[in-house]
Structure 1
């Protein structure tokens, strides 16, 4: 399969010339005869021009707001605020508790209302219109929540009026009931902004691609560290802790899940790591779901055989089925191919025996987290692949009632001449033999 590597001087949405960053280091991780060379930890000098990245992302946000006929978006989701403007403090906490928000007009400068006790942090990273956010969630406001929400809505109404947007449709992404009710009662015409934001985030800028490649390289190193301790008697938690701990040590921010399982816990999929000790000859499967530097997700999956026990015929059958489906799908991810066409052609190739427990998607977008677009087995979405999209192609193979299952997944960039695979994490050659 030919892998395209576009010039660094190409437009922002195109892949840059290099894939995962090789570097020398300690003894390489080897599994089943395939070696993965250590990669250098990511650092501040990773080639990402943050000023340009923020500028380009805001430009894409405004473009999509215009295409969706939204004069402005009032954003609360910390990932959307990060994309359009700047990261904020306590990202994980902010995902379930609203304490900052941003107004992003399509034709004028944005405003960011920040958590008052963290304004000094944001001010050091962003030079836009920064104001203190006066919260209204029940956590901080209690019985005063409705009153505080009304004050929040009044401030938004005043800003909209100043910009001649008060009678316009205003998009929002994620908003608790108290805030939504207050805005509605104040006369703000609220509509859904998420489609515009998802479409903006779907095609990556050159700096986003640079960040993603660096994060995948750091994640590959963490997988190599895990492989070095994968032996009978190690627990699932120890294996998962090694991946996450080493990734955090090189600058990663958080993990979306803790999907790692062994032996009979690999079937069905979606089981989190536990204190279970892995036995000789068992399969260990995991999904990284790791958010790295600059907030970009590495989403790859591997399955390995633990110990020196010979792989069983059934383990090899499962592994090779998952691997072959993945390798069949990957070359099809080219610009201009519709999501519906991909689903129609690739879905039927997945063996009927494993359909009941298959992964929900053939592929899904990756960026700040899992995101648009999705290639489904059924109920296909409108749209088509574009150069600069980043997706993870999925394959889970396990029979209903079977003893074990296999999870494999590759993350790729859609290039003009074909897909660019991002990870160098090895496949287990003993299971492919």
Structure 2
């Protein structure tokens, strides 16, 4: 008996695996570069960021953006330098003419020798004229005047070469000396560079989101390392050191960030650490803020106790957790900043015991902030500003850190924070370290 030939009817012969819009198989990826899967596509991210800047220049009718701010420079040029060249130092800067496909990088000193070889996506890397930003103010009046004139002439020449010398030059760092000299040269200047760059950075592409996921993963590891080290006798500063080492071991950098606060000093939140010695029964929390992967920042809190936490601490934590997730659970594209802020109680009503009489005293407490290359990006969600019009609608692929806190003076403070991404239909919580309750670390 012969089997019928049904090969032509077999659907597997023509089946092709579909490309999934959301594939979670290996997210977040490892941090190595490999040939066998696409991970963070740096070239796609660079092109996306430059395109976003050009779109803002077109929207705002700008001829060019002059950036002295290090994070705006990183966004538009995809270059980075040592921390001593920051913040907004004037030691390096960038100019993005609207007529060009990539910005001009003006690199500090002889570092440009390396930068030119390492950044083939930039058409030009030139010498930075040291004289703008704060560095110009420390070289003496005569030196400052000399270098300021050279700086502005260099920019004026490059604007002319790009054909935009008659159009508006938007600056992201407003320097009155530069403004006066540019005006003397006949260049129209505007302070709108910062607004243009923040608007460009507001919506992340898939690669920026993956950088944030990886940063959040490293943050989770930092919380785990600190949990394993908590015991009576360890100092807040020691725990910070452990967190720093974990971050660097995993390929992150920390830009003036991370703190641990414990015991009665943790309420109200001082947002700093000391050499205070942890005692049995202390409640403590850590913020991994400004831990960065490829420049993309974290801002995440978790709360622990050294031994068993008191019932009062657990009750306060439950309240803060409810405030947090009442807000997170409504996040989706189209929801407004007002709707989120309405999920939080009035600061003067719940924190009378620490003399809160206005929401201005709650800045940084129950709130949310955009996060990306900088710790704070648009928008800020906070009762003092978000309950007032105009409402701001959330958009897909906005990324936020969202945080709440509570406590009792002289006893304890608790704080919780998650990093999230806005999706079409809801929210992705990028941080995964457990948050359901205070993490009670055994004494022995």
Q: Indicate the TM-score class for this superposition, using the shorter chain for normalisation.
A: 0.7 to 0.9
Residues 1:17 and 2:24 aligned together: yes
Residues 1:43 and 2:42 aligned together: no
2:150 aligned partner: 151
Give 3-state SS (helix, strand or coil) of 1:379's partner.
helix
Q: Which of the two has higher C-alpha Rg?
A: 2
Name the CA distance, whole Å, in 2 between partners of 1:379 and 1:429.
30
Offset at 1:8?
Answer: 7.4
Residues 1:403 and 2:401 aligned together: no
Offset at 1:352?
Answer: 2.4
- Cα deviation digits, residues 286-323 of structure 1 (max 9, x gap): 2111332210111111111112xx32122112111111
Name the CA distance, whole Å, in 1 between partners of 2:153 and 2:336.
44
Structure 1 unmatched runs, 5+: 1-6, 22-39
Instruction: Please point out which of 380, 384, 395 is paired with 2:393.
Output: 384
1:73 aligned partner: 65
Name the CA distance, whole Å, in 2 between partners of 1:8 and 1:82.
31
CA contact 1:252–1:290 (8 Å) conserved in 2: no
1:320 aligned partner: 318
Instruction: Please point out which of 129, 132, 157 is paired with 2:127.
Output: 132
1:103-142 matched pairs, under 5 angstroms = 103-109=95-101, 110-127=103-120, 128=122, 129-136=124-131, 137-138=135-136, 141-142=139-140
Give the RMSD, CA atoms, in angstroms.
Answer: 2.5
User: 1:406/1:314 Cα in 2 relative to 1: closer, same or farther (>3 Å)?
Assistant: same
1:362 aligned partner: 367
Residues 1:353 and 2:361 aligned together: no
- Cα deviation digits, residues 318-371 of structure 1 (max 9, x gap): 11111111111101211012223333x323477921373643452110101221
Name the CA distance, whole Å, in 2 between partners of 1:293 and 1:342.
28
2:211 aligned partner: 211
Residues 1:248 and 2:248 aligned together: yes
1:61 aligned partner: 53
Residues 1:331 and 2:329 aligned together: yes
Give 3-state SS (helix, strand or coil) of 2:294's partner.
helix
CA contact 1:63–1:106 (8 Å) conserved in 2: no
Give 3-state SS (helix, strand or coil) of 1:429's partner.
coil
CA contact 2:318–2:437 (8 Å) conserved in 1: no
Residues 1:278 and 2:275 aligned together: no
2:433 aligned partner: 425
TM-score (norm 2): 0.83
Question: Could you say which structure has the greater relative contact order, defined with CA pairs below 8 angstroms and 6 or more residues apart?
Answer: 1
User: 1:324/1:155 Cα in 2 relative to 1: closer, same or farther (>3 Å)?
Assistant: same
Name the CA distance, whole Å, in 2 between partners of 1:105 and 1:292.
29
Name the CA distance, whole Å, in 1 between partners of 2:85 and 2:234.
32
Name the CA distance, whole Å, in 1 between partners of 2:23 and 2:291.
21
CA contact 1:259–1:288 (8 Å) conserved in 2: yes
Offset at 1:41?
Answer: 6.7
Name the CA distance, whole Å, in 1 between partners of 2:398 and 2:228.
33
Give 3-state SS (helix, strand or coil) of 2:85's partner.
helix
Name the CA distance, whole Å, in 1 between partners of 2:232 and 2:436.
17
Name the CA distance, whole Å, in 1 between partners of 2:438 and 2:139.
59
Name the stretch that deviates more: 388-397 or 41-50. Answer: 41-50
Offset at 1:211?
Answer: 1.2
CA contact 2:68–2:89 (8 Å) conserved in 1: no
Name the CA distance, whole Å, in 2 between partners of 1:184 and 1:239.
52
CA contact 1:320–1:431 (8 Å) conserved in 2: no
Offset at 1:208?
Answer: 0.6
Offset at 1:258?
Answer: 3.5
CA contact 1:288–1:301 (8 Å) conserved in 2: yes
Name the CA distance, whole Å, in 1 between partners of 2:189 and 2:25.
43
Count of aligned positions: 400
2:181 aligned partner: 182
Give 3-state SS (helix, strand or coil) of 1:74's partner.
strand
TM-score (norm 1): 0.85
Name the CA distance, whole Å, in 2 between partners of 1:254 and 1:165.
38
Instruction: Please point out which of 415, 423, 438 is paired with 1:415.
Output: 423
User: 1:227/1:9 Cα in 2 relative to 1: closer, same or farther (>3 Å)?
Assistant: same
CA contact 2:323–2:404 (8 Å) conserved in 1: yes
Name the CA distance, whole Å, in 2 between partners of 1:172 and 1:269.
35
Name the CA distance, whole Å, in 2 between partners of 1:91 and 1:201.
21
Name the CA distance, whole Å, in 2 between partners of 1:203 and 1:8.
23
